[in-house]
């Protein structure tokens, strides 16, 4: 089933092409091929037209650095949301190596060398090896390099942990499209700060309307983009996808979907104020049953119940 055009937009496709470049280097293939994919990704981010239109009009050759192999990957992503080249590389590269690239100063060649010698695939393992001075034993890594890696890891952990809007939107849209394709459900919606279009995003919240939560949770934690499963429950699960972004999924009964979406969109301050209005007016509702205040009050009270059950607040 083809993904929605909005889901796999130019930024999302450019992100996949960048990752193909990283995976090519991690696999040890020709570095010039990696450079080509990254150059094509940069050119795509500068486009003023959607790639889907260029594919339909057979105009991909107009994009700098887009040759036959890159064009094929783009066409597959637009049509199906999956690139065979990307999938083959993911299968060939040890899981976790892409995570090491989040550390400033650790490029694909360095990450591959570290893996080949020490079988390291996580930032925690990398930090431990650096503290034990095992990295110095590897070719081209000196004491200063090891020290810089430790500083980079520390700086990475001191960051706010927030992602830019376009990066979080691309990851969230990819997850929503995957879930819609696998479940056949339509009411799968992004909530939280991403729905409010904040400039930076902490965690991504996704709300699903369904009476059958367990199968959806199983599909969610098994999604291709998932790097680590943080929690898997009956109605809520959390995972970490690429670039360390956390995605929380909540499944609610269809009759509670509107209330849950209202609550988990937030913000927390907005919810507190709206709930206060609901409580003050609950005892003196008058007028039409379609009163917006009455609807908001009922929604807020139902959403608060959902909140207490999940013990979380919107970001």
* Mean pLDDT of the 5-12 span: 64
Tell me the pLDDT tens digit for each residue of 55-68.
Answer: 999 999 999 999 99
Instruction: Centre a 10 Å sphere on the Cβ of residue 218 and count the other Cβ atoms it contains.
Output: 12
What number is the average pLDDT over the span 278-305? Answer: 50
215-263 confidence digits (pLDDT tens):
999 999 999 989 888 888 888 999 988 767 889 999 999 998 988 898 8
Radius of gyration of the chain (CA): 23
Domains by residue range for the chain, with CATH: 10-92 (1.10.150.110), 97-158 (1.10.150.20), 164-266 (3.30.460.10)
Task: Determine contact, residues 7/176, Cβ cutoff 8 Å.
Answer: yes
Alpha-carbon span 64 to 60, nearest angstrom:
9
- 53/170 Cα distance (integer angstroms): 19
Please tell me which of 208-212, 234-238, 301-305 the model is most confident about, judged by mean pLDDT: 208-212
What is residue 177's three-state secondary structure? helix
Predicted confidence (pLDDT) at residue 3 exceeds the cutoff of 70: no
| Residue 141: DSSP 8-state | -
**What are the two backbone dihedrals, phi and then psi, of residue 241, each rounded to the nearest 5 degrees?**
-105, -165
């Amino acid at each position: 089933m083809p993904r929605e055009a909005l889901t796999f937009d130019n930024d999302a496709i450019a992100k996949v092409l960048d990752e193909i470049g990283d995976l090519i280097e991690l696999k040890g293939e020709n570095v010039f091929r990696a450079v080509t994919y990254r150059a094509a990704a940069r050119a795509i981010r500068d486009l003023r037209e959607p790639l889907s239109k260029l594919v339909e009009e057979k105009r991909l050759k107009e994009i700098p650095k887009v040759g036959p192999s890159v064009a094929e990957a783009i066409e597959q992503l637009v049509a199906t949301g999956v690139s065979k080249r990307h999938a083959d590389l993911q299968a060939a590269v040890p899981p976790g190596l892409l995570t090491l690239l989040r550390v400033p100063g650790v490029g694909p060649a360095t990450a591959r060398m570290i893996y080949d010698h020490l079988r390291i695939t996580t930032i925690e393992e990398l930090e431990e090896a650096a503290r034990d001075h095992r990295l110095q034993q590897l070719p081209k890594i000196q004491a200063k390099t090891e020290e810089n890696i430790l500083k980079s890891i520390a700086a990475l952990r001191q960051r706010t942990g927030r992602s830019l809007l376009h990066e979080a939107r691309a990851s969230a849209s990819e997850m929503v499209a995957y879930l819609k394709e696998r479940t056949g459900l339509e009411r799968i919606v992004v909530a939280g700060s991403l729905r409010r279009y904040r400039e930076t995003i902490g965690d991504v919240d996704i709300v699903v309307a369904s009476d059958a939560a367990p199968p959806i949770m199983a599909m969610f934690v098994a999604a291709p983009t998932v790097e680590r499963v943080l929690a898997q429950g009956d109605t809520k699960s959390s995972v970490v996808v690429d670039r360390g972004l956390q995605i929380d999924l909540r499944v609610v009964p269809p009759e509670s979907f509107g209330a849950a979406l209202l609550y988990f969109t937030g913000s927390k301050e907005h919810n507190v104020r709206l709930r206060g209005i609901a409580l003050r007016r609950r005892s003196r509702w008058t007028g039409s049953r379609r009163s917006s205040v009455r609807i908001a009050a009922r929604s807020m009270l139902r959403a608060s119940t959902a909140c207490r059950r999940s013990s979380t607040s919107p970001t």
